[in-house]
Structure 1
Amino acid sequence: MILENYYDIEHNNIRVSRQQASDFAKKVANDFNPLHDTDSKRFCVPGDLLFGLVLNQYGLSQNMRFVFSGMVGDGIELLFPESATETFVISGSNGKEYLRVERSGGNSRDKLLVSRLVEAYVAFSGHAFPYILVPLMEAHDVMINPGRPLIIYENMEIHLDRLDIADPALKLSGTCFNIEGKRGLVQLKFTLHDNDEIIGKGTKNMVLGGLRPFDAARMQTVVDDYLQRQEKFGDT
């Protein structure tokens, strides 16, 4: 994966076009959330791409936490600090904060390691819908609004035992689903592996909006539409 294909940079200011964001979502993350379509009225840059941009700029630290405080829309220029401390913020040229990063421990700027780790993470993350989230919603007898599906990336963190990693991979290790009215708070827990050795762990937290009673037929329609979008893209 060549991350540079998915953004433009000038003086540490980064801009992601609709096409670049959409290409990353579909080609790299296998994520067909309509929010990342070039013609979406609610278009936003994938959180997984922002995660990759931070690692690409500042390297991979043993302990990292990412808190997403806003969705990056079309035409937003992101201001990346020239030198990053243990805690720093990615803001937009509009003065709005979009991402807060906390990090500690050792740090590696090995471009190959960063690329492989980003690829491993987004492969895991992009698989969440429908394969993890739909069974989870069914088990709790709720679902997102089929007419206006809303799944928002809230925060994620990674903790690594070491940074000399040859072949990183992520595996789901547990889930947690808390319901607050029409909002669902989902946590996906995962372990990080290097070949057969567990070398770390992490979590991804999301907010599901517009919850309502689970309707198997309507949910299946949403899933079928999502999978058809994947298939159609693969045929192009």
Structure 2
Amino acid sequence: MDAHNAGLAQQLAPFFEQRDDWVNISAPQGSGFAKQIAGDHNPIHDIDAPRFCVPGDLLFALVVSHYGLSHRMQLAFKGMLRADTPLKFPPLQTNAPFGVADESGKAYVEVSHQGRLDVTGPGVWALVAAYVGWSGQTFPDLLQPLLARHGVMFNPRRPFVVYDRMTLALDEPPDRDVSLELEGTTLEVSGKRGDAAFRFVIRNRQTAIGECEKRMVISGLRDYDDVEMTAMIEAYRRRRTEAMNGS
């Protein structure tokens, strides 16, 4: 772990295990991070989900914890990471892209970065928490209006919405008062696939210090149905409330 990111490492400690050179994430750990830190109640992150996937937000946080922040960063996700898949975070080389891969060499995250940013104190965790915390508003707050505008929706019986990539561009180091402000959303539809983008301005208090973006892939698109979508939103909010209340 990067020595400057002790605070971030401490926050992440409950959500992974370090075994020699390997990082392991169990289903309870991945699910816990999604729900407790990111506010993400996507069924794909439920512990007992048949297609359980470690949240991309946790992988992003671990990359920052290992390597620190750069002026420019991009994480491209290359597949669904299942629980208990050991990952190796390779040594950092200046400005050289790298992959975070399993024992067979399959990369689940490809990272590009440029210009190391010297950040100490609580600013790193504040930025990570603000960035991943927007996942709690992806559905229904951001995604539903976007889908309705384009007349499409995902299959309510097999919803599939996953990260494609995450990017950061920072001109100055973040501090404990960093926040994200939504700048815009877009959706490109190609057949049954949708590519959604959510863009944010990064601020220290009121001063803009950078920008970031989350891009997601939505599979199995079909014609928008207001009745089905309303039922899905109600069910999602109900399960979110139950999870938050510990039931």
TM-score class, shorter: over 0.9
The one-letter amino acid paired with 1:66 is L
Identity across matched positions, percent: 38
- Which moves more between the two structures, 103-112 or 135-144? 103-112
- The residue number in structure 1 matching 2:157 is 147
Q: Does 1:11 align with 2:9?
A: no
Residue in structure 1 matching 2:218, options 202, 208, 219? 208
Q: Does 1:51 align with 2:60?
A: yes
- The residue number in structure 1 matching 2:35 is 26
For residue 71 of structure 1, give the secondary structure of its aligned residue in structure 2: coil
- The residue number in structure 1 matching 2:113 is 103
For residue 122 of structure 2, give the secondary structure of its aligned residue in structure 1: helix
Residue in structure 1 matching 2:48, options 20, 39, 55? 39
Q: Counterparts of 2:86 and 2:118 in 1: how far apart (Å)?
A: 26
Q: Counterparts of 2:98 and 2:136 in 1: how far apart (Å)?
A: 26
- The residue number in structure 1 matching 2:4 is none
Cα distance, 1:148 vs structure 2: 0.4
Cα distance, 1:105 vs structure 2: 1.6
Cα distance, 1:62 vs structure 2: 1.4
Q: Counterparts of 1:179 and 1:139 in 2: how far apart (Å)?
A: 12
Please give the residue correspondences for 1:125-144 in structure 2 after superposition, counting only pairs within 5 Å: 125-144=135-154
Q: Counterparts of 1:164 and 1:222 in 2: how far apart (Å)?
A: 37
Q: Does 1:70 align with 2:79?
A: yes
The one-letter amino acid paired with 1:40 is A
Q: Counterparts of 1:14 and 1:85 in 2: how far apart (Å)?
A: 22
TM-score with structure 1 length normalisation? 0.96
In the TM superposition, what whole-angstrom CA distance separates every residue of 1:155-213 from its partner, at most 9, and x where no partner exists? 01110111153311111101111110000111111110111111111211111111111
Cα distance, 1:143 vs structure 2: 0.4
**RMSD (Å) for aligned C-alpha atoms:** 1.3
- The residue number in structure 2 matching 1:196 is 206
The one-letter amino acid paired with 1:125 is S
Q: Is the 8 A contact 2:76 2:111 kept in 1?
A: yes
The one-letter amino acid paired with 1:139 is R
The one-letter amino acid paired with 1:46 is P
Residue in structure 2 matching 1:82, options 91, 96, 112? 91
Q: Does 1:227 align with 2:221?
A: no
Residue in structure 1 matching 2:176, options 144, 161, 166? 166
Q: Counterparts of 1:125 and 1:12 in 2: how far apart (Å)?
A: 29
- Which moves more between the two structures, 75-84 or 153-162? 75-84
Q: Counterparts of 1:197 and 1:166 in 2: how far apart (Å)?
A: 13
Q: Counterparts of 1:209 and 1:48 in 2: how far apart (Å)?
A: 19
Cα distance, 1:106 vs structure 2: 3.1
The one-letter amino acid paired with 1:12 is D
Cα distance, 1:11 vs structure 2: 2.6
Cα distance, 1:126 vs structure 2: 2.8
- Aligned length, in residue pairs: 236
TM-score with structure 2 length normalisation? 0.92
Cα distance, 1:109 vs structure 2: 5.3
- The residue number in structure 2 matching 1:112 is 122
- Which moves more between the two structures, 126-135 or 102-111? 102-111
For residue 203 of structure 1, give the secondary structure of its aligned residue in structure 2: strand
Q: Counterparts of 2:31 and 2:142 in 1: how far apart (Å)?
A: 22
Unaligned runs of 5+ in 2: 1-7
Q: Counterparts of 1:9 and 1:51 in 2: how far apart (Å)?
A: 16
- Which moves more between the two structures, 87-96 or 209-218? 87-96
